[in-house]
Amino acid sequence: MKQLKNLFNTSLVFIVAVACLFLASGGYAADSKSSTAMRGKSSKTQPKVAEKSVKKETGKTSLSKVTVYSFYGNSRCPTCRKIEQYTKETVEQNFSSGTYAGRVAFMSVNFEEKPNEHFVKDYQLVSSGVVLQPEKDGKPGKWENLEAVWVQVGDKSKFFAYMKDSIIKSLGGK
């Protein structure tokens, strides 16, 4: 039964990814007003990080950081928009103060814009999605593509829990 559920989830992720690629390729006349507005959005802005800076203390290793990338294409389906919204909300609600303040940055990036095309190869992107890029001592760690966001997006509380747990794990937590 578990294998059948995993096969179903994998198939669902694939179907949603193909649908998003279809929309991104212009295969469907999406809402041109919102698509045009999104095309103007650039990732040239710096990641939004809480104002507190992480200080290195003598004799101690520095704290890890993570950039949460929400990738999208020129044409966006409602599910893609919801994934971005939920991801941003999760970061803002759980990582802007307290223990993790200043350690988690959110970036929304159109991977189809010229300056951002390298992300497709860098993170092996096949469609819109969320990638976690950890960093420790100024060096990037092993990134993770959170493919399960496509399955979790139907339940906001499960999505938030999955995203929060993934980010904490990426920061070196439990």
> Tens digits of per-residue pLDDT, 83-113?
999 999 999 999 998 888 999 999 999 999 9
In this prediction, residue 174 carries a pLDDT of: 65
Query: What is the number of other CB atoms lying within 10 angstroms of the CB of residue 41?
Result: 13
CA 6 to chain centre: 22
Name the more confident of 154 and 21. Answer: 154
Average pLDDT (69-76) is 94
Tracing tokens 């991104």 back to the chain, one arrives at 24
In this prediction, residue 16 carries a pLDDT of: 47
In this prediction, residue 164 carries a pLDDT of: 96
Q: 111-137: per-residue pLDDT in tens?
A: 999 999 999 999 999 889 999 999 998
143, 135 contact by CB (below 8 A):
no
| Statement: residue 66 has pLDDT above 90 | yes
Distance CA 131, CA 170 (A): 11
Provide the pairing of β-strand 104-110 with 65-72: parallel
Task: Compute the mean pLDDT over every residue in the chain, rounded to the nearest whole number.
Answer: 75
Structural domains of the chain ordered from first start: 2-41+62-170 (3.40.30.10)
Distance CA 21, CA 13 (A): 12
Average pLDDT (29-57) is 38
pTM for the full predicted model:
0.66
